[in-house]
């Protein structure tokens, strides 16, 4: 087996990400072999659909060309770096045509590959008659489905690379496939190399969010150096599946056990059953080792045969969503903001009734600056002289949304003193619900196009014999607790993220000896009680706790907490990125000796 190392670098963690990562990788004395650009999220499919409604040639990520690729394309090609991205969105061939034309204007002619076939819009009518139910909630097929895309895996990307593509643009693929595809191409991994495919998937999962494996959104953000130039993650991968997470030299942030562990469990439900099209991954026994400054060795991912289905995400038209921001200053600003919010909803209701328009499907208000979003944080801020109210109105009728937006703006003229004119005008946008289901793999055939030549890959088997789940790693069952009490943040790192109508909340012990105390205190019931205010129906709280003993971690899944999905969620934290922050002050009983030790370490 070769000892060759393939270096894959994260270029972006989303459409809005900074292009600084590209500059870092180009400046590296040892350039990466690949840069992967993740420009997709479940909410982005809705954005692409809206853009295509205005321009049939749109529906892909324009910032990929404008910010992340074209300004540096000459240097990327000169250094022999290949590029993989899902920025093709709903229209990858249009993205490839735009890239080809604009690169030619620069005198550059890269060999471009496209992976397509995931777009199921031509089949929507037939799919609607087949009785598909949401794979998470069991809800029936929605009435107004306007788009659907299957999540392809990594082998079509590898095929495009095999055919000489220097840049590969895909439609909807799982995010980790952007990294797994090059590894399949470079090392010749086959479909039966399940442990290696699982390891490559984990490498891709760690890279897919850009700098989040190297300090972005890290619990201990205050301790990180150089956040103005945070290093974007790099995976140094070997043919046996092992890899090291690092970052470019002389950049900020850190590649540490904490930063990597947080990202490893981000947006994961059961760590022992993380399903992607190419493999079902078991990350529960994954171990991390700090083998040098900003170098974390990752080992222990295991894989078993994938299911015979693709995950498909459909988008349903759920009307309109209007959002207004209301800045308020002065004595009792929080009370004032709440009263003005109530007035706006009441005024809108009167106008809607007078005009015979439908009542809203949902309304929501939340207050920034008064501790409402972090109810367990010590101290609160109820007496603040400044507050910002965020008001949301969801309706089937665009006219009602416009009325609500008008009232949000008008309140500064006829509301209380200190209600300011907002510099941000109320925003009205389509409201889209995400609906996910499974579709047999033999229904779809991925297509790979390189320089205008298209091949259709053979559909994969629809039925795969279920692979038995291997024994899970032993869980540390030592008793925990004690007479003293500390905050969870003293003992653990925390990371949260959404998936459809649920979010996960990972808790990683800073030291293995801390885990029994965390495990004893933070039961599923305790989590449900602490986070009760986040459930769609607080009376029906559902929390599942999973163990990831290799990472010294617990992973919680909180169901029915996202008001449907990011497209219909009315809260500011649309994608549950801040949920973990609410858990940092959770009280954990510990022995007095440990409490003294932690207090001695605390600054100040």
Provide the pLDDT for residue 95.
98
Q: Is the pLDDT of residue 563 over 90?
A: no
- For residue 603, pLDDT over 60 is answered with no
- In 3D space, the residue among 510, 489, 513 whose CA is nearest the CA of residue 586 turns out to be 489
Q: What are the phi and psi torsion angles at 496 (to 5°)?
A: -130, 160
Query: What local confidence, expressed as pLDDT, does residue 466 receive?
Result: 66
Q: Are residues 414 and 560 in the same domain?
A: no
Look at residue 468 and tell me if it is in a domain.
no
Question: Taking each helix axis from N to C terminus, what angle separates 257-264 and 194-207, rounded to the nearest 10 degrees?
Answer: 110
Burial class (CB in 10 A: 0-12, 13-18, 19+), 514: buried
> How many other CB atoms are found less than 10 A from the CB of residue 29?
6
Which tokens is 229 given? 């130039």
280 and 330 in one domain? no
Per residue in 500-540, pLDDT (tens digit) is: 889 999 999 999 999 999 999 999 999 999 999 999 898 89
User: CA-CA distance, 482 to 165, in Å (whole number)?
Assistant: 60
Please compute the mean of the pLDDT values over residues 105-130 and round it to a whole number: 97
User: 3-state class of 58 per DSSP?
Assistant: coil
What lies within 8 Å, CB to CB, of 599 at 6+ separation is none
Smallest Cα–Cα separation from 434: which of 312, 592, 310?
Answer: 312
577 lies in a domain?
yes
> Residue 520 has what pLDDT?
97
CA distance 78 to 73: 8
Would you say residue 382 has pLDDT above 70? no
Residue 427 has pLDDT above 70, yes or no: yes
- Please indicate, yes or no, whether residues 202 and 284 belong to a single structural domain of this protein: yes
297 and 201 fall within a common domain: yes
pTM beyond cutoff 0.85: yes
Domain hosting 180: range is 6-117+152-303
Q: Looking at the structure, do residues 109 and 227 belong to the same domain, yes or no?
A: yes
Q: Are residues 587 and 497 in the same domain?
A: yes
Neighbours of 93 (CB within 10 A): 16
Identify whether residues 518 and 559 lie together within a single domain.
yes
Beta-carbon contacts of residue 13 (< 8 Å; ≥ 6 apart): 38, 208, 209, 210, 211, 212, 216
Domain end among 303, 334, 368 = 303
pLDDT band, residue 463 (cuts 50/70/90): low
- Tokens 């078993």 belong to 304
Q: Any idea what DSSP says for residue 69? A: I
Stretch among 237-246, 326-335, 415-424 having the lowest mean pLDDT = 415-424
What tokens does 146 get?
């306007």
pLDDT of residue 371: 79
pLDDT at 424: 75
HSE at residue 392, side-chain half, CA atoms within 13 A, is: 22
Residue 85 lies in a domain: yes
404 belongs to a structural domain: yes
Instruction: Report, as an integer, the average pLDDT of 281-301.
Output: 98
What percent of the chain lies above the pLDDT cut of 90? 83
Q: How far is CA 195 from the centre of its chain?
A: 24
pLDDT of residue 158: 98
Of 397, 431, 465, which residue constitutes the final position of a domain? 431
Q: Which one of 387, 413, 431 terminates a domain?
A: 431
Residue 324: its H or E element = strand 309-329
At 136 the pLDDT is 87
Q: Are 161 and 179 in contact (CB under 8 A)?
A: no
- Tell whether the model's pLDDT for residue 596 goes beyond 80: yes
- Residue 462's pLDDT band (cuts 50, 70, 90): low
The verdict on 421 and 492 lying in the same domain is no
Q: How confident is the model at residue 1 (pLDDT cuts 50, 70, 90)?
A: low
Confidence band of 604 (pLDDT split at 50, 70, 90): very low
| Mean pLDDT within 146-167 | 97
Same domain, 101 and 226: yes
- Domain tally, the chain: 3
The lowest-confidence range among 398-407, 465-474, 522-531, 561-570 is 465-474
Q: Would you state the pLDDT for residue 420?
A: 87
Q: Which two tokens stand for residue 290?
A: 């700090």
Cα(263)–Cα(216) distance, integer angstroms:
9
Q: Are 398 and 320 in contact (CB under 8 A)?
A: yes
**What local confidence, expressed as pLDDT, does residue 140 receive?**
95
Please name which of 354, 431, 346, 433 lies closest in space to residue 397, comparing C-alpha atoms. 431
- Answer whether residue 548 shows pLDDT above 80: yes
CATH of the domain at 375: 3.30.300
- Of 153-167, 302-316, 374-388, 576-590, give the lowest mean pLDDT range: 374-388
- Give the model's pLDDT for residue 437: 96
Cβ atoms of 457 and 156 closer than 8 Å = yes
pLDDT in tens, 333-360: 999 999 999 999 999 999 999 999 999 9
In a domain, 339, yes or no: yes
Alpha carbon distance 524, 544 (integer Å): 6
pLDDT (tens digit per residue) in 160-210: 999 999 999 999 999 999 999 999 999 999 999 999 999 999 999 999 999
Distances (CA, A) of 465 to 253, 306, 382, 445, 461: 44, 9, 58, 21, 10
Do 160 and 29 have their domain in common?
A: yes
Does residue 466 lie in a domain region? Answer: no
* pLDDT tens, position by position, 44-98: 888 898 899 899 999 999 999 999 999 999 999 999 999 999 999 999 999 999 9
Q: Is residue 113 part of a domain?
A: yes
Indicate if 180 and 245 belong to the same structural domain.
yes
Give the burial class of 140: count Cβ atoms within 10 A of its Cβ; 0-12 exposed, 13-18 middle, 19 or more buried.
Answer: exposed
Do 215 and 198 contact (CB within 8 A), yes or no? Answer: no
The 10 Å Cβ neighbour count of residue 466 is 11
455 in a domain, yes or no?
no
Q: Are residues 246 and 389 in the same domain?
A: no
Q: Are the C-beta atoms of residues 364 and 571 closer than 8 Å to each other?
A: yes
320, β-bridge pairs: 395, 430
């Amino acid at each position: 087996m070769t000892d060759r190392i393939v270096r894959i670098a994260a270029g972006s963690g989303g459409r809005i990400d900074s292009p600084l990562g590209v500059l870092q990788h180009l400046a590296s004395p040892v350039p990466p072999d690949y840069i992967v650009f993740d420009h997709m999220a479940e909410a982005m499919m809705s954005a692409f659909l809206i853009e295509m409604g205005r321009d049939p040639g749109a529906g892909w990520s324009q910032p990929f060309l404008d910010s992340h690729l074209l300004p540096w394309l000459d240097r990327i090609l000169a250094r022999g770096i290949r590029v993989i991205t899902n920025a093709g969105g709903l229209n990858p061939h249009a993205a490839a045509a735009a890239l080809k034309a604009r690169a030619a204007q620069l005198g550059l002619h890269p060999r471009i590959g496209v992976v397509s076939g995931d777009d199921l819009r031509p089949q929507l009518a037939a799919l609607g008659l087949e009785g598909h139910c949401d794979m998470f909630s069991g809800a029936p097929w929605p009435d107004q489905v306007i788009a659907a895309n299957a999540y392809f895996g990594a082998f079509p990307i590898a095929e495009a690379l095999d055919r000489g593509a220097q840049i590969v643009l895909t439609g909807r693929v799982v995010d980790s496939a952007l990294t797994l595809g090059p590894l399949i191409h470079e090392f010749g991994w086959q479909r039966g190399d399940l442990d290696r495919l699982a390891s490559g998937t984990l490498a891709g999962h760690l890279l897919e969010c850009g700098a989040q494996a190297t300090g972005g959104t890290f619990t201990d953000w205050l301790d990180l150096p150089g956040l103005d130039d945070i290093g974007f993650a790099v995976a140094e991968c070997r043919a046996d599946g092992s890899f090291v997470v690092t970052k470019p030299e002389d950049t900020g942030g850190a590649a540490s056990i904490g930063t990597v562990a947080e990202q490893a469990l981000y947006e994961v439900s059961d760590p022992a059953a993380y399903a992607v099209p190419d493999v079902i991954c078991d990350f529960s026994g994954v171990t991390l080792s700090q083998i040098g400054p900003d170098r974390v060795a990752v080992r222990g991912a295991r894989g078993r045969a994938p299911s015979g289905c693709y995950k498909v995400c459909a988008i349903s038209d759920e009307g309109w969503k209007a959002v207004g921001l209301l800045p308020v200053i002065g004595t009792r600003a929080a009370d004032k903001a709440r009263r003005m919010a109530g007035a706006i909803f009441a005024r809108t209701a009167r106008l809607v009734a007078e005009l015979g328009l439908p009542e809203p499907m949902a309304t929501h208000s939340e207050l920034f600056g008064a501790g409402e979003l972090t109810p367990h944080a010590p101290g609160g801020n109820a007496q603040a002289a400044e507050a910002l109210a965020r008001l949301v109105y969801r309706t089937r009728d665009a006219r009602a949304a416009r009325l609500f937006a008008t009232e949000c703006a008008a309140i500064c003229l006829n509301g209380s003193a200190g209600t300011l004119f907002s510099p941000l005008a109320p925003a009205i946008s389509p409201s889209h619900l995400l609906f996910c289901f499974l579709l047999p793999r033999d229904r779809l055939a991925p297509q790979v196009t390189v320089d205008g030549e298209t091949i259709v890959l053979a559909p994969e088997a629809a039925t795969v014999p279920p692979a038995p789940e291997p024994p899970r790693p032993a869980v540390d069952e030592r008793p925990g607790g004690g007479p003293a009490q500390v905050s969870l943040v003293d003992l653990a790192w925390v990371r949260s993220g959404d998936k459809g109508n649920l979010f996960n909340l990972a808790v990683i012990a800073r030291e293995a000896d801390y885990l029994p105390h965390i495990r004893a205190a933070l039961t599923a019931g305790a989590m449900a009680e602490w986070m009760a205010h986040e459930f769609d129906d607080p009376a029906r709280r559902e929390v599942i706790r999973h163990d990831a003993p290799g990472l010294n971690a617990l992973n919680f899944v909180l169901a029915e907490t996202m008001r449907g999905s990011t497209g219909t969620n009315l809260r500011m934290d649309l994608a549950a990125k801040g949920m973990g922050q609410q858990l940092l002050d959770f009280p954990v009983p510990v022995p007095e000796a440990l409490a003294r030790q932690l207090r001695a370490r605390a600054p100040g």
